[in-house]
A and B are shown apart, each in its own frame.
Chain A
Amino acid sequence: MLPGLLLIAPALLAIALLYVVPLARSVIFAFVDEGGGLTTAHLRTAVELYGRDVVFTVLVALASLILISVVSIAIAGYLTLGATPWAVTALRWLYRWPLFIPFIVAGQTARSFLARNGLMNGLLIDSGLMDPAMAQSLLDWRGLVLTFAWKQVPFVTLLLAGAMASIDRSTIEAARNMGAGRFRCLIEIVLPQVRGTLLVGLILSLVTIMSVLSVPMMIIAGNPTMMTSMMAHRVTYYGDYAVANALGLFSYLITAVAAYAYLRMTLTQHTEGAR
């Protein structure tokens, strides 16, 4: 008993000190007033002032996750089912690059790419595909969704392509042999076998999106914006940790829902596997 406890003690201690205690502290402080009594005032202030930002955050996160799923399924699917060897090799090399770019650099890149006078519009106008008068800035929710997707697609694709590579290849061949084209094969045969991995990738991406500060700070100037931005604002300009904690509570709740869905799914898989 004792040696076992000693062995897991460092890990347990790290989780307790670095994760559980700060989490508990911030949850408690969201409900404690200056006198030390319980209050929901911070929570009410948070909803009143930042309700729109909470909704905006949820919508941006959902839109990003949808875009991330579509693109990473397409890339991983092509890596698995692609028939042109050189294209598959090239894609395998290219898709991981954004993994190694920090969020703040991604934010800066997106700023100069998506602005009204940015690189993207410049290229479109120079190539004659767009009328200069039509040029508009994408530095709003669209910029956020695009940047989050650009950063997280390689990560989800990495997980997904690995999972797709490890499924029994003959199940794919059997489907094609029976008359399924490559697209149907991807949607009806490959994807159902890796949906657990996709969900894990999306949940981890959601947690990342909920916690990134630099990207919304750099891309969005006005309101509404992501909750992280607002929390930073509250702390930096007002020193108001209580309301920031109350806002943080919403982040916890959103990620907790995702974590619950994930745990429930893995448990179902475990019981199915045990049967």
Chain B
Amino acid sequence: MGVEALALHGLSIRLGGAQILHDVTLNVPAGSFTCLLGPSGCGKTTLLRSIAGFAPPASGDIRLGARSIADLPPEKRGTAMVFQSYALWPHMTVAGNLTYPLKLRGIVRAERDARAEALLDILGLSGFGARKVGSLSGGQRQRVALGRALIIDPPILLLDEPLSNLDAAIRRNLRGELRRLQQRLGITTIMVTHDQEEALAMADTIVLMRAGRVVQVAAPQDLYARPADLDAGRFLGVDNMLAGRPDDPVAAATLGFRSMDARIHATAPQDALVRHGTVLDCAYTGGGYHLQLQSGAEVISAVSGVPVTPGSQVCVAVPTASLMAFGADQMLLPNGSPPIAETVQ
């Protein structure tokens, strides 16, 4: 089966009387790696499950390549899913798990075994074929689950938080490995994650979701630099949200920035957002210090290379390029918009 594009059109899903997805429309190009990112309960896993056929849509269409798969049962869709719990079959060996999808397709035993051998090599699990899955470590189980999904050469790969049950170090390794494998096979991949770092590191495109709706679809760099609204910004680590003032370099109702972009200066620099405040707290974070400043009614998070005594008065500045300007409706303002004062006149 070749690599295929996926298109969702006006997809709505109700489960047990609650509306889980509202009118989701999304295009996933063939061969791309797309992450569904969002907080718990935003509907991202339901969206993935609906593509696999485990959450029947109330309305809307799901198209894989040229055909609509919305009305097909899961076994007829040809999507390959990797589950969060891996969902390996405990009564089968590693090889048994890998070859069962081939058995379902009526492939003869000799070829099944040969393909399992080859796949175990690729996964770095040579010689594990006869083992029971219960004897494998988390990382190894994850690889077997991935191998089981890939062995049928599916048109699309669906990953449901595949790395979330692993230790941080293994997770980082597998992240790169998974991305390289995906690029080598060129398979259309959709991954669900609540970990923004994971999404930013792996995806071609990130679909940011909230409360059953798609909030933003963007490349990782764009999403990180220009989140669509205040909530999206907060979710992506924009931890400072200050009310705009007339003399600020960018006109906005709210100005957002990350604390790592806010630095302490002796004198106010040019072309930057400047605030003065009293240091509330100074904590060492390894390689630098993290500060909390009281500036009027607002608290600002900033970083400093040197320790600052709490209670001292400082000047904090954020370069204009690192600022995100949000309007009164909480939406991100387009780049280079004129100051509000001029718009009003």
Contact = CB atoms under 8 A, between A and B. Distances in A.
9 contacts: A170-B83, A170-B85, A171-B90, A174-B89, A174-B148, A177-B52, A177-B53, A177-B77, A180-B100
Contacts of B90: 171, 193
Nearest to B97: A174
Contacts of B108: none
B105 A173 contact: no
Given A180-B104, A193-B91, A173 B148 contact: no
A179 interface: yes
A168 B101 contact: no
A222 interface: no
Given A173-B54, A179-B101, A179-B104, A192 B91 contact: yes
B75 A177 contact: yes
Interface string B21-56: 000000000000000000000000000000011100
Interface residues of B, number: 28
Q: Looking at chain A's contact residues, is the secondary structure mostly helix, strand, loop, or mixed?
A: helix
Interface in A143-190: 168, 170-171, 173-181, 184, 188-189
B75 A179 contact: yes
A270 B150 CA distance: 34
B87 A170 contact: yes
B152 interface: yes
Interface residues of A, number: 18
B79 interface: yes
Contacts of B78: 179
Contacts of B91: 192-193
Main secondary structure of the interface of B (DSSP, over half): loop
Interface string B107-136: 000000000000000000000000000010
Contacts of A174: 81, 83, 87-89, 148
Contacts of A171: 87-90
A252 B84 CA distance: 49
A168 B85 contact: yes
B74 interface: yes
User: Top 9 closest A-B pairs, CB basis?
Assistant: A170-B87, A174-B87, A178-B101, A192-B91, A176-B74, A170-B83, A179-B104, A177-B81, A179-B75
A193 B133 CA distance: 14
Contact of A173 (B74, B88, B101): B74
B52 to A, nearest CB: 6
Name the residue among A171, A178, A192 with the largest chain B CB count within 10 angstroms: A178
A175 B81 contact: no
A40 B143 CA distance: 65
A175 B100 contact: yes
Contacts of B85: 168, 170
B230 interface: no
B317 interface: no
Contact of B100 (A170, A173, A178, A181): A178
A179 B83 contact: no
Contacts of B74: 173, 176-177
Nearest to B145: A174
B89 A181 contact: no
B75 A176 contact: yes
A168 B54 CA distance: 15
B255 interface: no
B104 A178 contact: yes
B80 interface: yes
A173 B104 contact: no
A178 B148 CA distance: 9
Contacts of A184: 104
Contacts of B54: 173
Interface string A262-275: 00000000000001
Interface in B240-258: none
A178 B105 CA distance: 9
B88 A180 contact: no
Nearest to A194: B91
B87 A168 contact: yes
Given A174-B88, A176-B75, A179-B152, 10 more contacts: A170-B85, A173-B74, A173-B83, A174-B89, A177-B81, A179-B78, A179-B105, A180-B75, A181-B73, A184-B104
B302 to A, nearest CB: 45
Interface string A58-83: 00000000000000000000000000
B75 A181 contact: yes
Nearest to A181: B75
Given A171-B89, A193-B90, A193-B91, A177 B105 contact: no
